Amino acid sequence: MKNIAVIGAGTMGNGIAHTFAQFNYNVQLIDISQNSLDKAIAAINKNLTRMVVKEKITNADKERTLANITTYTSIKEGTQYASLVIEAATENLDLKLKIFKELDEVCPEDTILATNTSSISITQIASKTNRPDQVIGMHFMNPVPIMNLVEIIRGYNTSNEVMKFTVDLSKKIQKTPVEVNDYPGFVANRILMPMINESIETLYNGVAGVLEIDTVMKLGMAHPMGPLQLADFIGLDVCLSILEVMYDGFKNPKYAPCPLLVNMVRAGKLGVKSGEGFYDYSKNRKAEILAKQFE
């Protein structure tokens, strides 16, 4: 088990690739966009340089980590020797089903197929393959190189052997695996997203402003980041997508996305990545209060 393929070179994908490469696994990072791959390698290089400056790793460690990563724009080429594939593409059901159908066709028979989905059914994804016993969820937290938690999600058909292997592998890259069953939102987002949604409802109903809501949660509940700032960090489009999956799965109105969240996503106000969400990031990534008020 030395070849790990990662599908998707975005924030989560490059973080997963970085982490495995740092622990001396050969990583095949795959994305249809060469530009995205170039940006991913630049991001990994920047993050490793930051670790060198903080004396957490040596320059030799940095160079070794980068040398362990190879990039591909073809799933077939990038996965031909993979023992494990971790899909970290956009949180879109149709896209993930398409990717897993292709992975099942091109990967070696014994390759384990994992998804980094934060809410979509592992069982549903596995149904598009002829190896549902070898499909599992590995939900890493962002930023992957820093956050210790990995939710390991067992699909309806996931074998005990694949579950044990994935748990053991997570420990080898110094993560803390938590075993979870396959229900919408798993554990992390089933608890987190209603809190974020309720915070947006509190703002929407004029109970308090953005800064006030986040200050209450930081100082009153000892959260390192307020829920509205956290939503900006995650991406408001991602929050909306997860809430929709949960609402769809449970048919419970408590998971229905707040109209303010829906409108902000429609308007392209997605948080840090778009430069504006509940806070302003137009000048830097530090959260600054917007001049305009939410109504």
Annotated active-site residue 295? The verdict is no
**C-alpha angle 197-150-159 in degrees, rounded to nearest 5:** 115
Annotated active-site residue 276? The verdict is no
Measured between alpha carbons, how far is residue 111 from residues 58, 74, 104, 231, 275 in Å?
33, 17, 9, 35, 39
What the block records as the tokens of 31 is: 């994305």
How far apart are alpha carbons 250 and 257 in whole angstroms? 13
Annotated active-site residue 189? The verdict is yes
What would the DSSP string read from start to end of 67-130?
HTEEEES-HHHHTTT-SEEEE---S-HHHHHHHHHHHHHHS-TT-EEEE--SSS-HHHHHTTSS
Annotated active-site residue 252? The verdict is no
From 87, 91, 151, 276, active-site residue = 151
From 139, 199, 241, 274, active-site residue = 139
From 3, 116, 189, 199, active-site residue = 189
From 118, 197, 241, 274, active-site residue = 118
DSSP state for residue 218 in the 8-state scheme: I
What are the residue numbers of the active site? Answer: 118, 139, 151, 189
